[in-house]
Amino acid sequence: MSFAFDDFLSTTAAAQQAQPFQGLPKYHFVGGNIDEPTVPADALAEAVARVIREEGHAMGKYFMDSGPQGYLPLREEICAILDRRAGMNVPPEQVLVTTGSLQAMDLVNKALLNPGDVVLLEEANYMGAIKKLRALGVTPYPVALDEHGIRMDALEEALQTLANQGTKPKFIYTIPTIQNPTGSVLPEDRRRQMLALAKKYDVPIFEDDCYADLVFSGTRPPAIHALDDEDRVIYCGTFSKTIAPALRMGFLVAPWPLMGHILPLKTDAGSGALEQMALAEYLPGRFDAHVDALLPMLQEKADTLCAALDEHFGAAASYDRPVGGIYLWVTLPETVDTDRLYEAALKHGIEINQGSQWTVEGEKHRHRMRLCFGHAPLDTIREGVAKLADVCFEEFGLPTRSGNVARG
């Protein structure tokens, strides 16, 4: 008989429970996974071999003489990438290497939030961000979106409503470039308007730019951080969507003295040294070409997913065609409950993201779903969408079998 830990669990652990991993379903349309053949494994292997021979002994001490913010050559390369790709001019002293962008988010939340606080964010948003806020006892306050991203009239209305109530939000959390899950890109004029509103109502902005390198056209607006002249914007990014998710290499950009308050909260004694050294060795001269090679492949996958939806769901599925990223936000008729569809589809080896989990007011969006296309091969995308349409028909009578005609 095994010892029973139930009576010893903390309230946090007792409130949630994971199941043993059973493997991924065949038709896996969830998660920020990328196409496995695109991981530059050979080049990374060469980078590891070179750097560990030359600097491997430096791992005998914490931080390798670079300090607690991370391996200095990597921070310098991050600054160079942000300069040429996002228009940001930041010194390495403002960069903190994190174990993925999720750690960056946790650190910002710990540094700025208390139970009872309010954070403004897009009404449809990254599930992890919404859950993290609620777990801290923080209220996520939704702001309406359109096809171009967060609406500035809605943001101003939200800020003014809270001000009238005597409440100042702790920050505006936004995913402006390849918004998650809607895939929109916020135009530069709206970015400037957001900064003006943040100044007017005296609140900071937390800019999550994890997918910003994956705009299919290869061009993107400057980061909100790049337009900020008041050190009001905190910024996070990652190499998970361009190099490899399992590498767990992200970064946070924050001004001092805020960085000084964040650093003591990173209690893991530093992110993995070998990963940092390998990236610092690999990235210079290679990163831009690597990303450029990803974009047409992701465009083809997005087109394949859209074509499969048009063929098998017809007019029952509406969406904005992706301009980048690895996911598609799909709206189905309101008679479809994607929470129920999720459970039914999983029995057939198909996994989707339910709209209720990716929105602040989940009950209003149960007819929506997020489909990720970054990892699945083209044939798997086609087969999976066809099977998903069959499951949806069995559960809800939609899409109608006679109406599945591709749209022009």
Q: Does residue 403 register a pLDDT over 70?
A: no
Are β-strands 145-146 and 27-28 bridged in parallel, bridged antiparallel, or unpaired?
unpaired
Binned at pLDDT 50, 70 and 90, residue 91 comes out as very high
Can you tell me the distance from the alpha carbon of 26 to that of 380, in angstroms, rounded to the nearest whole number?
A: 8
277-305, pLDDT tens digit by residue? Answer: 999 999 999 999 999 999 999 999 999 99
Can you tell me the distance from the alpha carbon of 123 to that of 404, in angstroms, rounded to the nearest whole number?
A: 31
Binned at pLDDT 50, 70 and 90, residue 402 comes out as low
Q: What percent of the chain has pLDDT over 70?
A: 98
Report whether 197 contacts 230 (CB < 8 A): no
DSSP collapsed to 3 states, the chain: CCCCCHHHCCHHHHCCCCCCCCCCCCEECCCCCCCHHHCCHHHHHHHHHHHHHHHHHHHHCHHHHCCCCCCHHHHHHHHHHHHHHHCCCCCHHHEEEECHHHHHHHHHHHHHCCCCCEEEEECECCHHHHHHHHHCCCEEEEECEECCEECHHHHHHHHHHHHHCCCCCCEEEECCECCCCCCCECCHHHHHHHHHHHHHHCCCEEEECCCHHHECCCCCCCCHHHHCCCCCEEEEEECCCCCCHHHCCEEEECCCCHHHHHHHHCCCCCCCHHHHHHHHHHCCCCHHHHHHHHHHHHHHHHHHHHHHHHHHHHHHCECCCCCECCEEEEECCCCCCHHHHHHHHHCCCEECEEHHHCECCHHHHCCEEEEECCCCCHHHHHHHHHHHHHHHHHHHCCCCCCCCCCCC
Strand partners, 146: 149
Q: Hey, what's the torsion of the CAs at 154, 241, 247, 78, to 10 degrees?
A: -80
Q: Is the dihedral of CA 57, 59, 60, 62 positive or negative?
A: positive
Are β-strands 233-238 and 350-351 bridged in parallel, bridged antiparallel, or unpaired?
unpaired
Q: Does residue 356 register a pLDDT over 50?
A: yes
Binned at pLDDT 50, 70 and 90, residue 401 comes out as low
Can you tell me the distance from the alpha carbon of 118 to that of 359, in angstroms, rounded to the nearest whole number?
A: 16
Rounded mean pLDDT of 338-356? 97
**Location of structure tokens 């990720």:** 372
**Which tops the pLDDT comparison, 270 or 403?**
270
The whole-number pLDDT of residue 18 equals: 86
The whole-number pLDDT of residue 1 equals: 73
Q: Does residue 144 register a pLDDT over 70?
A: yes
Q: Does residue 334 register a pLDDT over 50?
A: yes
Phi/psi of residue 159, each to 5°?
Answer: -65, -40
The whole-number pLDDT of residue 138 equals: 98
The whole-number pLDDT of residue 405 equals: 42
Q: Which amino acid is at 14?
A: A
Rounded mean pLDDT of 207-224? 97
Domains of the chain: residue spans and CATH: 22-39+288-396 (3.90.1150.10), 41-285 (3.40.640.10)
Binned at pLDDT 50, 70 and 90, residue 17 comes out as confident
Binned at pLDDT 50, 70 and 90, residue 190 comes out as very high
Report whether 212 contacts 229 (CB < 8 A): no
Q: What percent of the chain has pLDDT over 90?
A: 90
The whole-number pLDDT of residue 19 equals: 87
Report whether 234 contacts 266 (CB < 8 A): no
**Residue-averaged pLDDT of the chain:** 95
The whole-number pLDDT of residue 404 equals: 47
Can you tell me the distance from the alpha carbon of 345 to that of 26, in angstroms, rounded to the nearest whole number?
A: 11
Binned at pLDDT 50, 70 and 90, residue 108 comes out as very high
Rounded mean pLDDT of 15-29? 89
Rounded mean pLDDT of 342-369? 97
The whole-number pLDDT of residue 51 equals: 92
233-257, pLDDT tens digit by residue? Answer: 999 999 999 999 999 999 999 999 9
Hey, what are 179's tokens?
Answer: 């918004």
The whole-number pLDDT of residue 407 equals: 36
Binned at pLDDT 50, 70 and 90, residue 15 comes out as confident
Rounded mean pLDDT of 74-102? 97
Angle of helix 287-313 versus helix 378-396 axis, rounded to 10: 30
Burial of 348 (0-12, 13-18, 19+ CB in 10 A): middle
Binned at pLDDT 50, 70 and 90, residue 12 comes out as confident
Can you tell me the distance from the alpha carbon of 231 to that of 89, in angstroms, rounded to the nearest whole number?
A: 12
Rounded mean pLDDT of 318-343? 97
Q: Which amino acid is at 180?
A: N
Rounded mean pLDDT of 133-153? 97
Of 65-69, 199-203, 220-224, 345-349, least confident by mean pLDDT is 65-69
373 C-beta neighbours (distance < 10 Å), count: 26
Of 20-24, 131-135, 180-184, 238-242, least confident by mean pLDDT is 20-24
